[in-house]
Amino acid sequence: MTANEDIRQSMVAGSFYPGNPQVLENMVKKFLDNAEDKKIKKIKALVCPHAGYIYSGQVAACSFKQVTGNEFDSVIVIAPSHSEHFDFNSIYNGKAYQTPLGMVNIDSESCEKIAASDSQYIKLSRFGHRTEHSLEVQLPFMQVALKNLQIVPVVMGNQSKTNAESLGTAIGNLFKGKNILVVASTDLSHYHPYDTAVSLDKKVKEFIKNFDIGGLEKAFLNDRLEMCGGGPVIAAMIASKILGARNSDVLCYMNSGDTSGDRSAVVGYLSAALY
């Protein structure tokens, strides 16, 4: 493997977010400036959307604003797979992810530790990372908001009960007492009329707001609500609970109709903090 193959190159710069570093940095800073700092202490996990920044960037900024200026030993990013099918949690086994803002180093030690804890459901792999946008779009926000960033990039294949629970439990147990942050990447309902979307997404908001892991998991697995990253959110909630989180705030909710003006078929976005 060459050194270059060890770096996961940006796949969606220029489409989901600007490819020009200065334009991108300015855009992210503007979103963060427009977000409210709720002064929440001891945040263990965030929930963030992963659409194009013009649609969901302001919602994502509501989450990252809460940790701006902070430094974590590691940020564990859990994202769904939109393009590849596999039945495990895939932790990228390279050196770094690249965005227009530079390299994001990978915390290889933590990656190996998590993978070793449950070799059936968690593996070091390239699966899910090659073309996936849902993890990559989180990184420019972290590069602007956080100090000395290093990540554990996880893409969940099949969002089954076992995959979500094994990952969440592993992270919680391995990093208890450590200074880490978990970031779960998800959008909500897809392509419904505006009012239908708001009504569907309200269920997700309530489960997250009430820190109701069992309720969310049951509804998600039985297709009673729509989230493309339901598994990552469940894993993050399980991990954060083991890490000591007892509270949850939904920080912001919007859908693409709020920014584009087209309310005929929208996608829902939510940001939340577990602390």
Which tens digits make up the pLDDT trace of 177-219? 999 999 999 999 999 999 999 999 999 999 999 999 999 999 9
Which tens digits make up the pLDDT trace of 215-249? 999 999 999 999 999 999 999 999 999 999 999 99
Question: Number of structural domains, the chain?
Answer: 1
Whether 217 is in a domain gets the answer yes
75 token code pair: 């940020």
CATH code of the domain containing 227: 3.40.830.10
Tell me, what's the pLDDT at 21? 98
Q: How far apart are CA 214 and CA 139, in angstroms?
A: 29
With tokens 């909630």, the residue in question is: 237
Q: Is 204 exposed, middle or buried (0-12, 13-18, 19+ CB in 10 A)?
A: buried
Q: Which domain holds residue 254?
A: 16-183+206-259
34 token code pair: 């427009």
Whether 71 is in a domain gets the answer yes
pTM of the model: 0.97
Tell me, what's the pLDDT at 5? 76
Tell me, what's the pLDDT at 2? 46
For the chain, the average pLDDT equals 97
Whether 274 is in a domain gets the answer no
For the chain, percent of residues with pLDDT exceeding 70:
99
Q: How far apart are CA 260 and CA 256, in angstroms?
A: 6
Helix, strand, or coil (residue 152): strand
Whether 193 is in a domain gets the answer no
Whether 273 is in a domain gets the answer no
For the chain, percent of residues with pLDDT exceeding 90:
98
Q: Do the bridges between strand 122-125 and strand 74-80 make them parallel or antiparallel, or are there none, so unpaired?
A: unpaired
Handedness of CA 39, 45, 51, 52 (dihedral sign): positive
Average the pLDDT over 26-47 and give the result: 98
Average the pLDDT over 34-60 and give the result: 98
Q: Is 118 exposed, middle or buried (0-12, 13-18, 19+ CB in 10 A)?
A: middle
Whether 267 is in a domain gets the answer no
